[in-house]
Structure 1
Amino acid sequence: MDWLERMNNVLDYIEQNLDGEIDYKKMAEIAYTSEFHFSRMFSSISGIPLSEYIRRRRLTAAAFEIQKKDVRIIDIAAKYGYDSVDSFSRAFKKTHGMTPSAARKNGMQLKAFPKISFQISIKGDVEMEYRIENLDFELRIVGKGSPVKTSKAFKTIPSIWNNARKNGYMQKLIDMSWENPKCTLEGLLGVCGKEAAITDEEFEYFMGIRYDGETPSDMETLIIPPGTWAVFPNIPEAWKRLYSEWVPASGFELANLPCIECYYGPKHKPKHELWVPVRNR
């Protein structure tokens, strides 16, 4: 219930600041989760990207004000965060199907996107397997990053791996792979966001391996500090259920580090795992 209340408090904060600055760091603080994960958590449980939800709510509020013909459109545009009437008009038309000036005519049909609310939904009839791993050492990962649009991640990431298989990059990683493991985080790694910051529209997917040798000239090094991880078999299923089912019931919060997809070698069971950074509430 605490988790539910915190997420609804975030929605209240957005409503109170539609005509001002909406601070992503502040929203993460209200939700008691990391900046890195908050926008993706919001999108997962609401079904809409955080930035898109804010945009639609602002344009809904703007449409109501446009009905008041004594308010100038340029003032409404500035109030809801647009630098110019042109950029406001383009966004308004994309949402409402008409320009702000056309919306002032009698009988015009506009779209109102209501404030959402989070409620309890009975789920969890299928158990989620997981384990907790405490790593007291840095993870040194070498590899390459690729930009990924959050909304297309489930389609884009498989294509990144397919391209790596075709162009020989995957085999190069396999040839460099770890030979003396300190933990079970071995194999080919996909780090979902190189930097620990909010990445609502896009993030960098870093494909690499744990490696202690000299970093090749065509790669870069990523250092992830010691921490605690919740580990789930079956990456696609884990992503679907992580934010909406496991996090609310777990007693953990998400730490301000990226998640890691781990793909193991042939005959390994499970074939892949999702490593999620966590901390005690």
Structure 2
Amino acid sequence: MISGLNRLVGLVEEHLDGEFDVRGLAGELGTTEYHLRRMFSSLAGMPLSEYVRRRRMTVAAADVVRGEDDLLGIAVRYGYGSTEAFGRAFRAVHGVGPRDVRRDGGPLRTQPRLRIRLTVEGSSPMDTRLVDRPAFRLVGHAARVPLIHEGVNPHIQRHIAALPQEEHLRLKALGDTEPAGLLQVSDGVDPDGREGSELTYLHGVAVGGDSAAPGDLDVIGVPAGMWAVFRTAGPFPQALQTTWAATATEWFPSNPWRLRPGPSIVAFLERADDFSTATCELWLPVEPA
């Protein structure tokens, strides 16, 4: 996977002036575009789309400063249909417009080319199990929320706090299959993992495929398949987020599995009353690599 991600970085460099085929590269590597994008964003700390934009604007800045071509010609060269669209992308990266840079020579913010290297990690074993599950459903209360990578997501926090205590008890009583207990479900996550992109968050439980679900609850159908289940304990949500990151940096590169599309699920096994610490299971849908 490390060599594959570096091939992806090389593909970006070869096509800074146009589109490139991520799906085709994924096929050559024997994986999926979904998994490749998820691994890139986890390891690079930014979505592939953001890295491409930063690299394009880094290289385009040199053309702007040299002044040999007009701004429209530079815009078209880097895949933009107008100077306005190019200017917006340029300003988002550099903080100033191309005309200002042409006049003043800067300021410029450079995005270096990424080089992804394997480092010696994994000295602490990850507590993981693989589970083959038949189809089931997730039922509960859903909301559209923005993706936040670090710390508590206030949008999710407000969504849960708005539910009366008796509703939590009702949901818990409905659950009749694994993952057990009250669950935090993230579905429809952008494969690039862009901060602020929207996802569907569901606070609920898992029920068997044949179990009845009350009509006032939202339902997410989950097809049969394999799951990698990671157990984590410690300060919440930091310990959970650390484990989530370690799946990309340690577990997936070391195991013959890849992510498949589907919801990610956090099951709470134990927690402090104030939620400062928790023991959780992180369920990720996987398939053979």
Aligned mates of 1:170, 1:26 — CA distance in 2: 50
The counterpart of 1:241, out of the listed 240, 246, 254, is: 246
- Is 2:223 the counterpart of 1:225? yes
The counterpart of 1:79, out of the listed 74, 77, 80, is: 77
- Is 2:97 the counterpart of 1:99? yes
On the 8 A contact 1:74/1:85 being kept in 2, the answer is: yes
| 1:131 CA displacement | 0.8
Q: Percent of pairs identical after alignment?
A: 28
Aligned to 1:163: 158
Distance 1:106 1:264, change over 3 A: closer
On the 8 A contact 2:138/2:204 being kept in 1, the answer is: yes
Aligned to 2:288: 280
On the 8 A contact 2:171/2:204 being kept in 1, the answer is: no
Aligned mates of 2:173, 2:255 — CA distance in 1: 32
Q: Mapping of 1:120-199 within 5 angstroms?
A: 120-135=118-133, 137-150=134-147, 152-157=148-153, 159-168=154-163, 171-177=166-172, 181-182=176-177, 184-194=178-188, 198=191
On the 8 A contact 1:164/1:170 being kept in 2, the answer is: no
Distance 1:76 1:54, change over 3 A: same
Q: Please, what TM-score do these two structures have when normalized by structure 2?
A: 0.81
| 1:28 CA displacement | 4.6
On the 8 A contact 1:215/1:221 being kept in 2, the answer is: no
Aligned to 1:262: 267
Aligned mates of 1:105, 1:119 — CA distance in 2: 39
Aligned mates of 2:182, 2:138 — CA distance in 1: 10
Distance 1:168 1:87, change over 3 A: same
Aligned to 2:275: none
| 1:214 CA displacement | 3.4
Amino acid at match of 2:161: K
The farther-off stretch of 238-247 and 81-90 is 81-90
Aligned to 2:215: 216
Q: State the aligned residue count.
A: 271
Moved over 6 A (4+): none
The farther-off stretch of 83-92 and 248-257 is 83-92
| 1:280 CA displacement | 1.8
| 1:33 CA displacement | 4.2
Distance 1:110 1:194, change over 3 A: closer
Cα shift readout 1:210-251 (whole Å, capped 9, x = no counterpart): 24223433x322111111111111233321211001110112
On the 8 A contact 2:8/2:22 being kept in 1, the answer is: no
| 1:179 CA displacement | 5.5
SS at structure 2 position matched to 1:67:
helix
Give the CA RMSD over aligned residues.
Answer: 2.8
Aligned to 1:206: 202
Q: Please, what TM-score do these two structures have when normalized by structure 1?
A: 0.83
Amino acid at match of 2:245: K
The farther-off stretch of 41-50 and 112-121 is 41-50
Unaligned runs of 5+ in 1: none
| 1:70 CA displacement | 3.1
Aligned mates of 1:105, 1:122 — CA distance in 2: 47
Distance 1:214 1:206, change over 3 A: closer
Amino acid at match of 1:51: S
On the 8 A contact 1:143/1:208 being kept in 2, the answer is: yes
Amino acid at match of 1:167: A
Aligned mates of 1:34, 1:169 — CA distance in 2: 41
Distance 1:23 1:117, change over 3 A: same
Amino acid at match of 1:209: V
Distance 1:91 1:228, change over 3 A: same
Distance 1:260 1:216, change over 3 A: same
Unaligned runs of 5+ in 2: 233-239, 273-277
Amino acid at match of 1:255: R
The farther-off stretch of 8-17 and 253-262 is 253-262
Cα shift readout 1:158-216 (whole Å, capped 9, x = no counterpart): x345324432256424313356734x311122222237x63543233233222422343
